[in-house]
């Protein structure tokens, strides 16, 4: 089954998204920030990365850049709940850096799962 | 009767912005934007959890059942909160564009219906609807937010000893309105919405500051104290006025006058 990496600093949300994706039989790897994400990223396992943008340690924008360097064909979904520049700005930057899709929080996990399914084909 | 009566203009004159005269306006806005953005980010994450677990809880439930309906109400409440965080993040708030004709009675009843299951039997709601068809030009989400904040305030004031919250809806001719700020022209007619509680009441200082941003007595569970400052801003932008009448030991009455529409 396709592998999904979830990068999200909120533990509850990370586990909710894990549960939603594992129910649909995806292989799920989670990380609480960008640094941990890059330690756990395995090109042979991960087909799509779902990353929050605003996180401590290393943020989602650096995740996008690093993943693109290691395995350019990885699909990436960026999510954000807002912040200094508002969700519009961070998400637009994420698109510029190569995110395939962007999501503003809050969203229904089922919407995210549907989008993962569509992107992976 | 010893009362503390403040018009909206008088309340606004005591706002923190007036006391931060040495900070450039742009810097004040940037700081406020940072705070708002940070709050909205955290709230949006929490809302995603609310949506997600509500969605999971709905699975397998009978759509005709009570639990299904209750969870749907949770989702509806999350929708309202989502609209509010969206406003917090919006750099180009243009409330006029989001206004529409809103039946006030419906908005009030929806507020009370939402709050009723959340209060104990010691708190009684009373409705006095004397004008059934009056409408105002407002953003419905913002209007709901105003009513919710004022009703919650009244409920919290009565939590310890119980009491009655009376919500009144009426109209008033513009010629009979005496509480407009100087220079403000009266509308032809106003919707009058009154929230009266039988709580402990407020002293003059508290009543005069209750609409200031971040002001809280510390006894309330209002978090940052942003709620009532937003209320005053919304009513002001709708061309309305808020008056507060309160006496220690005799409860509080908050009256909104909003120009009626249509």
Residues of A with Cβ-Cβ distance to B38 under 8 angstroms: 83-84
Q: Please give the pLDDT value at position B2.
A: 32
pLDDT band at B4 (very low <50, low <70, confident <90, very high): very low
Long-range residue pairs from B89-94, CB within 8 A, at least 24 positions apart, any chain: B89/A82, B89/A86, B89/A87, B89/B36, B89/B37, B89/B40, B90/A86, B91/A86, B91/B33
Which of A106, A107, A109, A111 would best serve as a mutation to test chain B binding (most B beta carbons within 10 A)? A106
Residues of B with Cβ-Cβ distance to A54 under 8 angstroms: 41
Q: How much is the ipTM here?
A: 0.80
Q: Please give the pLDDT value at position A39.
A: 94
In B71-89, which positions are buried (b, 16+ CB within 10 angstroms) versus exposed (e)?
beeeeeebeebbbbbbbbb
Q: What are phi and psi of B256, to 5 degrees?
A: -105, 135
Answer yes or no: do A13 and B78 touch at CB < 8 A. Answer: no
Which is it for the CA torsion B79, B85, B89, B93, positive or negative?
A: positive
* CA-to-CA separations, B202 to A92, B3, B147, B149, B224, in angstroms, rounded: 48, 9, 20, 17, 20
Q: Please give the pLDDT value at position B167.
A: 96
Residue A10 CB contacts under 8 Å (≥ 6 apart), including other chains:
A52, B45, B49
B74 touches chain A (CB under 8 A): no
B85 touches chain A (CB under 8 A): yes
* Cβ neighbourhood burial of B199 (10 Å; 0-12, 13-18, 19+): buried
Residues of B with Cβ-Cβ distance to A23 under 8 angstroms: none
Check whether A44 has a pLDDT greater than 70.
Answer: yes
Beta bridge partners of B136: B102, B260
pLDDT band at B17 (very low <50, low <70, confident <90, very high): very low
Largest CA-CA distance found in chain A, in angstroms, rounded: 37
Domains of chain A: 3-120 (3.40.50.2300)
Closest CA of chain B from A58, distance in Å: 17
**Averaged confidence pLDDT in chain B:** 77
Q: CA end-to-end span of chain B, whole Å? A: 37
* CA-to-CA separations, B232 to A103, A116, B210, in angstroms, rounded: 33, 43, 10
Which of B41, B53, B88 would best serve as a mutation to test chain A binding (most A beta carbons within 10 A)? B41
Check whether A104 has a pLDDT greater than 50.
Answer: yes
Check whether B97 has a pLDDT greater than 60.
Answer: no
On whether the pTM is more than 0.80, the answer is no
Q: Which of B56, B78, B91 comes nearest A86 by C-beta? A: B91
pLDDT band at B206 (very low <50, low <70, confident <90, very high): confident
Higher pLDDT, B26 or A74: A74
CA pair distance B228, B215, nearest whole angstrom: 9
Q: Which of B38, B48, B91 comes nearest A83 by C-beta? A: B38
Give me Rg for the CA atoms of chain B. 19
Answer yes or no: do B51 and A104 touch at CB < 8 A. Answer: no
Average pLDDT over residues B48-54: 94
pLDDT band at B51 (very low <50, low <70, confident <90, very high): very high
Using one digit for the tens of pLDDT, what is the confidence trace for B81-94? 888 787 776 643 44
pLDDT band at A89 (very low <50, low <70, confident <90, very high): low
Answer yes or no: do B48 and A86 touch at CB < 8 A. Answer: no
Residue in chain A nearest B36 by alpha carbon: A83
Give the range among A62-66, B32-36, B119-123 with minimum mean pLDDT.
B32-36
Check whether A56 has a pLDDT greater than 80.
Answer: no
Give the range among A29-43, B83-97, B126-140, B184-198 with minimum mean pLDDT.
B83-97
Residue in chain A nearest B42 by alpha carbon: A81
């Amino acid at each position: 089954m396709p592998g999904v990496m979830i990068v999200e600093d909120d533990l509850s949300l990370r586990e909710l998204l894990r549960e939603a994706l594992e129910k649909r039989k995806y292989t799920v790897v989670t990380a609480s920030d960008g640094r941990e994400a890059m330690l756990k990223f395995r090109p042979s396992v991960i087909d799509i990365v779902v990353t929050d943008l605003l996180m401590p340690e290393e943020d989602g924008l650096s995740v996008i850049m690093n993943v693109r360097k290691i395995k350019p064909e990885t699909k990436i979904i960026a999510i954000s709940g807002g912040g200094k520049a508002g969700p519009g700005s961070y998400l637009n930057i994420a698109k510029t850096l190569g995110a395939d899709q962007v999501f503003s929080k809050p969203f229904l996990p089922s919407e995210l799962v549907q989008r993962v399914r569509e992107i992976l084909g | 009767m010893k009362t503390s009566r403040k018009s909206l203009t008088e309340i606004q004159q005591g706002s923190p912005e007036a006391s931060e005269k040495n900070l450039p306006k742009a810097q004040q806005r940037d700081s406020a934007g940072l705070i708002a953005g940070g709050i909205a980010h955290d709230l949006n994450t929490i809302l995603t959890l609310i949506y997600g677990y509500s969605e999971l809880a709905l699975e397998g439930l009978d759509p005709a059942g009570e639990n299904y309906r209750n969870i749907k109400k949770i989702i509806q409440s999350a929708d309202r909160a989502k609209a509010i965080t969206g406003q917090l993040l919006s750099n180009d708030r243009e409330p006029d564009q989001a206004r529409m004709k809103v039946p006030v009675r419906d908005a009030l009843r929806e507020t009370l219906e939402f709050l009723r299951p959340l209060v104990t039997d010691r708190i009684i709601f009373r409705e006095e609807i004397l004008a059934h068809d009056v409408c105002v030009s407002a953003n419905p989400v913002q209007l709901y937010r105003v009513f919710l904040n004022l009703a919650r305030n009244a409920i919290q004031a009565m939590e310890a000893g119980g009491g009655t919250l009376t919500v009144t809806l009426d109209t008033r001719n513009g010629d009979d309105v005496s509480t407009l700020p100087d220079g403000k022209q009266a509308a032809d007619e106003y919707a009058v919405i009154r929230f009266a509680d039988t709580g402990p009441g407020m002293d003059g200082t508290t009543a005069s500051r209750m609409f200031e941003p971040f002001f809280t007595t510390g006894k309330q569970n209002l978090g940052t104290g942003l709620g009532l400052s937003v209320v005053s801003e919304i009513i002001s932008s709708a061309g309305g006025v808020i008056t507060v009448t309160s006496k220690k030991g005799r409860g509080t009455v908050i009256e909104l006058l909003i120009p009626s529409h249509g």
